[in-house]
Structure 1
Amino acid sequence: MLENKSGLYAAFVAKDTRFDGRFFVGISSTGIYCRPVCRAKQPKAENCTFYHTAAEAEQAGYRPCLLCRPELAPGSSIVDATPNLVYRAARMLEENCGSGQSLDELSGRLGCTDRHLRRVFTAEYNVTPVQYLQTCRLLLAKNLLTDTDLPVIEVAMAAGFGSLRRFNDLFKKQYNLSPTALRKRTLEEQKNTGDVTLALGYRPPYPWEEMLHFFAGRAIPGIDIVQDDTYMRTVHLVTSEGKHVYGWMRVGHRPHKNALSVTVSETLLPVLPQVLARVRHMFDLYCDPEAVYETLRVMNEIRPGLCVLGTRLPGCFNAFEMVVRAVLGQQITVKAASTLTARIVDTYGTPVQTKIPGLTHVFPSPEDILALDGPIENHFGPLGIITTRSKTIYELARAIVQKEIDFELPARPEEEIKKLMTIRGIGSWTAQYIAMRTMEWPDAFLETDAGVKKALYPLTSKELLEMSNVWHPWRSYATINLWNTL
């Protein structure tokens, strides 16, 4: 893409949102780098250099623009990076930038050596993994300094810097500006509420109402709620040191900024990068809607309006919570599945204090389920859950704890789907649905789903599967489009 410099400059002049986050522009006359949607005075073409990532622009000596704020740019989708290993590494670096995770640990999770990871990462992004991680931390800190009134020391810790001195030195070196000086230049006054609110960008159009409708229909009482055009939920995460952290979050929409606003309780600061990464996954903020639509627009030849530009794939925040609900939802209504899940939460969830009415518990962890004495059906049976479902949930908990199945950006989702189907009680529909929602697998297709069949009646499952071949690799998005027509 970067070879076509005249085309990139034209996209920069047009402020084309389709390219936001796909490249960055270094401007030699000012020493700053911008998003392609920046509204500052247009620089001359000869003063512009184009970069794949913010990290690459910073390593070239450019500072982030204070107007367009590169830290708010949407990220790359899973098909943008070749090989897939680099994409997964970049996502893990973003999610764990506050944990102090070493490159050895990261490469171990990815199933390769740190030497190989450095080589392929540098070849793809023109920066090393360490340099990319440094930029992730700096941009998160810049976001916190600009949008919150957190003390600088708390900003440094939340962004993953080991000390305030290290943070100050690196910030000044990279941006030629101290953290406190940046905060003084922020025009908006911050209100000291104890909570933290940040913005996460996306590529428009974004179907906010449709996403809220999807999550509202599957909300678990006590865990999450959709109210006043906002999504809210409780949060339980574990730090790299093994400390359990509890809190709550709230997600709203800022359509005029092409961003979602994410407010988290102050208790979640130690795991802030994890929270933000899960929100990006849940609301599919990495999606490139133009790329998806380019393939799926042929659906409109079947019936006009069958595929809508901007359709997103609803993910999940907690994988175990989602798979339990998926198992409980087999052959019953969505509402009935929520009722059964709520009973598990009331009986085995952990109570938490929040300032949001209706948010009272966090979902039981896989370890909590495995720790129950006696056969699992003795515990779940009185809640109205049949024995086969109870045993399936127990086996899923065991597979997660023993790391037999990878729900977090697996290298080969098809292999994880096969593993899921070895668990008694999980068929093709459930395995594909779980992969679609938890693994960010964009190519799942539910040809036996009642909603898919209804949307394309009177085609058979075999005919639907054959038809879907032209929708690769976006069949998960095709499924959501079909559901949205009902």
Structure 2
Amino acid sequence: MIDNDNGLYAAFKAKDARFDGRFFVGISSTGIYCRPVCRAKQPKIENCTFYSTAAEAEQAGYRPCLLCRPELAPGTSITDATVNLVYRAARMLEKNCGSGQSIAEIAGRLGCTDRHLRRVFTAAYHVSPVQYLQTCRLLLAKNLLTDTDLSVLEVAMVAGFGSLRRFNDLFKKQYKLSPTALRKHNSEEKHQDNITLVLSYRPPYHWEDMLRFLAGRAITGIEVVKNNEYMRTVHLENSEGKPVYGWIRVGHQSKRNALSVTVSQALLSVLPQVLARIRHLFDLYCDPDAVYETLQVMNDIRPNLCTLGTRVPGCFNAFEMVVRAVLGQQITVKAASTLAARIVQTYGTPIQTGFEGLTHVFPSPEDILALNGPIENHLGPLGVIAARAKTIYELAQAFVQGEIDFDLPAQPEEEMKRLMAIRGIGSWTAQYIAMRAMEWPDAFLETDAGVKKALPPYTAKELLEIAEAWRPWRSYATVNLWNTL
């Protein structure tokens, strides 16, 4: 619980979207908890208690507001986490809430004991990992019940409850109404062939800049950017290790400070994974004000060099992005996209989506390792030089063997060192991969042609010195520089 603070109450009273997801307000007179942007009648300050997470508010006995819908709040920014381990654990719990993974398994992936994880997590968020996971599942279920026509049983399974009875019991206990009663409260009928949800962000958000970046690097057959939307194919594994194929479509709802996400029915069993990857791809966890507070000094060099709301494009498929980065070494963005498209057409898996341009999923690391004979014999005829083909093969081995952590690692600098131990991976490639795949906010590409072009006539060494003032947000500084070109 956060001490009652007039500053937080003022943000709540102003409906300031910059604070959305950064705290929640428990209202004793109604027994509900709200987002700071809730448009319901303003409660008196003496009836308000402030919480850092939705899970903490629920454990205090509050139910989620049906008007502002706390399940739609943006996720926690890394700047808000007092302990990096706790932040990574929270993200992992959100991503895997439907997989049935135990806290011990998640602690193992984080490199600590479950006892240590429980201790530091509870100290930081005032709820246990199990309680946080429970809230993740309940809020996802509430979102699905409100915005889709999935059956209650389907909702229970997608959200990771394992059984309908367990879901009903916990929902009633926590929210004081049944799932079917919530459906009746939200009486609007929906008849969708696919699932459409919304994911919120903290404004402002430069959607056009993000789409422009992704469109310039789109791989034919995998990604399409048109009609102000981003679409792509998806290949994931469900909790049983079975492959799942489908597609997603992402649009922008600027008035709601949110992205609309449409997911094919085939991806229901991996929906939490899909939503987590979309949040990563579009950098929805970002706190733009915290970033701009540091980077606004860039405008002393040249006006409008840094703009409030710039995001770092992440990735949906880490292996796909890593291969694309290697292909892009010392050639144009367009040429790299051409090479990636040839690999997809030759070794990707064809799928049916019903959308023009979405025809394949990118080959997996296992697909690359399964090719018989020297890798250059396979990729060479596609135009990939032997050195880069061998680098791609070694990266596939690193993915399969788990030698490098590409999924929000605790020490990105150490992972970058391991990357650079692979022949063909230099500083530029390692920094670029860390920025887009590992969510490292402090990567800087001083030798990048675009960065040099944005800041003439500085040398790479001088750029590195200047960028010291931009820590720990040099990834955002890099994107700001690219956006000026």
Q: Give the whole-Å Cα distance in 2 for the aligned partners of 1:217 and 1:114.
A: 43
SS of the aligned residue for 2:230 comes to strand
The equivalences for 1:416-427 within 5 A come to 416-427=415-426
Maintained 8 Å contact 2:28/2:48:
yes
Q: Give the whole-Å Cα distance in 1 for the aligned partners of 2:206 and 2:320.
A: 24
The equivalences for 1:43-442 within 5 A come to 43-190=43-190, 192-442=191-441
Q: CA deviation at 1:189?
A: 2.7
Q: Give the whole-Å Cα distance in 1 for the aligned partners of 2:55 and 2:110.
A: 21
Q: CA deviation at 1:299?
A: 0.3
Q: Give the whole-Å Cα distance in 2 for the aligned partners of 1:77 and 1:428.
A: 27
Q: Give the whole-Å Cα distance in 1 for the aligned partners of 2:365 and 2:162.
A: 31
Maintained 8 Å contact 2:74/2:285:
yes
Maintained 8 Å contact 2:31/2:61:
yes
Partner residue of 2:29? Answer: 29
SS of the aligned residue for 2:79 comes to coil
Maintained 8 Å contact 2:3/2:49:
no
- 2:481 partner amino acid: L
1:344-381 Cα distance to aligned partner (Å, 9 max, x none): 00010000010211100000000000010000000001
- 2:128 partner amino acid: T
Q: CA deviation at 1:239?
A: 1.3
SS of the aligned residue for 1:26 comes to strand
Q: Give the whole-Å Cα distance in 1 for the aligned partners of 2:355 and 2:179.
A: 33
- RMSD, aligned CA: 0.8
- 1:315 partner amino acid: G
SS of the aligned residue for 2:49 comes to strand
SS of the aligned residue for 2:232 comes to strand
Q: Give the whole-Å Cα distance in 2 for the aligned partners of 1:481 and 1:99.
A: 37
Q: CA deviation at 1:254?
A: 0.8
Maintained 8 Å contact 2:311/2:476:
yes
Q: Give the whole-Å Cα distance in 2 for the aligned partners of 1:381 and 1:169.
A: 58
1:142-187 Cα distance to aligned partner (Å, 9 max, x none): 0000000011110110000110111011101100111111111114
1:29-68 Cα distance to aligned partner (Å, 9 max, x none): 0000000010000000000000010000000000000000
Q: Give the whole-Å Cα distance in 1 for the aligned partners of 2:97 and 2:45.
A: 34
SS of the aligned residue for 2:50 comes to strand
SS of the aligned residue for 2:104 comes to helix
Identical residues among aligned pairs (%): 81
- 1:274 partner amino acid: Q
1:190-222 Cα distance to aligned partner (Å, 9 max, x none): 1x2320001100000011111011000000000
- 2:276 partner amino acid: A
Q: Give the whole-Å Cα distance in 1 for the aligned partners of 2:76 and 2:469.
A: 23
Q: Give the whole-Å Cα distance in 2 for the aligned partners of 1:129 and 1:185.
A: 31
- 2:287 partner amino acid: D
1:252-276 Cα distance to aligned partner (Å, 9 max, x none): 1111111101100001000000000
Maintained 8 Å contact 2:22/2:52:
yes
Q: Give the whole-Å Cα distance in 1 for the aligned partners of 2:188 and 2:153.
A: 21
Maintained 8 Å contact 1:2/1:8:
no
SS of the aligned residue for 2:245 comes to strand
- 2:76 partner amino acid: S
Q: Give the whole-Å Cα distance in 2 for the aligned partners of 1:287 and 1:374.
A: 44
The equivalences for 1:442-453 within 5 A come to 442-453=441-452
Q: Give the whole-Å Cα distance in 2 for the aligned partners of 1:425 and 1:2.
A: 49
Q: Give the whole-Å Cα distance in 2 for the aligned partners of 1:75 and 1:324.
A: 29
- 2:113 partner amino acid: T
Q: CA deviation at 1:240?
A: 2.1
- Tell whether 2:471 aligns with 1:472: yes
SS of the aligned residue for 1:263 comes to strand
Maintained 8 Å contact 2:350/2:361:
yes
Q: CA deviation at 1:76?
A: 1.1
Q: Give the whole-Å Cα distance in 2 for the aligned partners of 1:351 and 1:82.
A: 44
Q: TM-score, normalised by structure 2?
A: 0.99
SS of the aligned residue for 1:231 comes to strand
SS of the aligned residue for 1:233 comes to strand
Q: TM-score, normalised by structure 1?
A: 0.99
SS of the aligned residue for 1:226 comes to strand
Q: Give the whole-Å Cα distance in 2 for the aligned partners of 1:251 and 1:429.
A: 30
Q: CA deviation at 1:22?
A: 0.4
Q: Give the whole-Å Cα distance in 1 for the aligned partners of 2:452 and 2:122.
A: 45
SS of the aligned residue for 2:112 comes to coil
Q: Give the whole-Å Cα distance in 1 for the aligned partners of 2:87 and 2:238.
A: 23
Q: Give the whole-Å Cα distance in 2 for the aligned partners of 1:3 and 1:369.
A: 54
SS of the aligned residue for 2:174 comes to helix
1:108-155 Cα distance to aligned partner (Å, 9 max, x none): 000000000000000000000000000000000000000000111101
- 1:262 partner amino acid: V
SS of the aligned residue for 1:353 comes to coil
Q: Give the whole-Å Cα distance in 1 for the aligned partners of 2:355 and 2:252.
A: 18
Q: Give the whole-Å Cα distance in 1 for the aligned partners of 2:410 and 2:330.
A: 30
Maintained 8 Å contact 1:329/1:337:
yes
Maintained 8 Å contact 2:4/2:50:
no
Partner residue of 1:17? Answer: 17
> Structure 1, unaligned stretches of length 5 or more?
none
- 1:467 partner amino acid: I
Maintained 8 Å contact 2:149/2:192:
no
SS of the aligned residue for 1:326 comes to helix
Q: CA deviation at 1:18?
A: 1.2
Maintained 8 Å contact 2:35/2:73:
yes
Maintained 8 Å contact 1:196/1:264:
yes
Q: CA deviation at 1:4?
A: 5.8
The verdict on how the C-alpha distance between 1:4 and 1:427 changes in structure 2, with shifts beyond 3 A counting, is farther
Q: CA deviation at 1:3?
A: 3.7
4+ aligned runs moved over 6 Å, structure 1: none
Q: Give the whole-Å Cα distance in 2 for the aligned partners of 1:240 and 1:161.
A: 13
